């Protein structure tokens, strides 16, 4: 889902059409307040990823101020922001990129380059979501399961793990089964791929 936040209706309409021409779902917002209200209503991330196209200069709240508010709320972590401006300068672009923006485009922009970058941001959004899901699964492991996990990843067999941790081989097998279940994998190779 592409979120377009721009105070100019013609820009919102053209960007929405442009996104749809590339099979990207898009929703447009006339102000930062309207977008923030929508974000408060929707907690779930779109399974196709999300990206925010954000105009720098808007009357009630600037894009930079909105970006800071979104960042404070953790919204930009899984929703990369691409700034659009008709009044940009190099120092502003550098500041925004250093502050965590995904990219910065000056109006008029090349339609294809912008949409290519939006697609890259959507891919980055999905990757961040997958990393968050893996991190959450890791946090669900007990301390002992984490110890067993580390030894599995080191390529050690159950008997060696049991000896190193001073527990029975059967206990290692139980921990191993719990780890595989919680991490949603079937083999140590899948586990290693997941955590690489």
Instruction: Kindly report the pTM of this predicted structure.
Output: 0.70
Q: Where are the domains of the chain?
A: 2-131, 139-194
Rounded CA Rg of the chain: 22
Phi, psi dihedral angles at 94 (to 5 degrees): -60, -45
Name the pLDDT band for 96 (thresholds 50, 70, 90): confident
**In CATH, 139-194 is 1.10.10.10:** yes
Strand residue runs (E) in 101-174: 103-106
Mean pLDDT of 82-110: 82
Q: How far apart are the first and last CA of the chain?
A: 28
pLDDT value at position 127? 81
Residue among 80, 76, 28, 86 nearest 56 (CA): 86
How confident is the prediction for the chain on average, in pLDDT? Answer: 88
pLDDT digit string, tens, across residues 121-131: 999 888 877 77
pLDDT given for residue 113 in this prediction: 94
Q: Is the pLDDT of residue 20 over 80?
A: yes
In tens, the pLDDT along 144-171 reads: 999 999 999 998 999 999 999 999 999 9
The number of residues making up the chain comes to: 196
What are the φ and ψ backbone dihedral angles of 82, each rounded to 5 degrees?
-115, 120
Q: Please check whether the two domains, 2-131 and 139-194, share a CATH topology.
A: no
Residue 79 phi/psi, 5-degree rounding, is: -130, 85
Tell whether the model's pLDDT for residue 88 goes beyond 70: no
- Looking at the structure, give the CATH architecture of the domain made up of residues 2-131: 3-Layer(aba) Sandwich (3.40)
């Amino acid at each position: 889902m592409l979120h377009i936040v721009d105070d100019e209706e013609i820009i919102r309409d053209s960007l929405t059409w442009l996104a749809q021409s590339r099979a990207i779902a898009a929703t447009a917002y006339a102000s930062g307040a309207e977008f923030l209200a929508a974000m408060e209503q929707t907690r779930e991330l779109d399974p196709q990823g999300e990206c925010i196209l954000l105009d720098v200069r808007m009357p009630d709240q600037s894009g930079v101020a909105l970006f800071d508010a979104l960042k404070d709320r953790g919204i930009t972590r899984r929703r990369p922001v691409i700034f659009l401006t008709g009044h940009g300068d190099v120092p502003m672009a550098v500041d925004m990129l250093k502050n965590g923006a995904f990219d910065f485009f000056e109006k008029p922009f090349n339609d294809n380059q912008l949409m290519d970058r939006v697609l890259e941001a959507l891919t980055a959004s999905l990757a961040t979501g997958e990393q968050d899901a893996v991190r959450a699964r890791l946090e669900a492991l007990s301390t002992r399961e984490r110890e067993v996990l580390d030894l599995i990843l080191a390529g050690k067999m159950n008997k060696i793990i049991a000896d190193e941790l001073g527990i029975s081989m059967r206990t290692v097998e139980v921990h191993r089964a719990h780890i595989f279940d919680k991490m949603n994998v079937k083999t140590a190779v899948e586990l290693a791929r997941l955590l690489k």
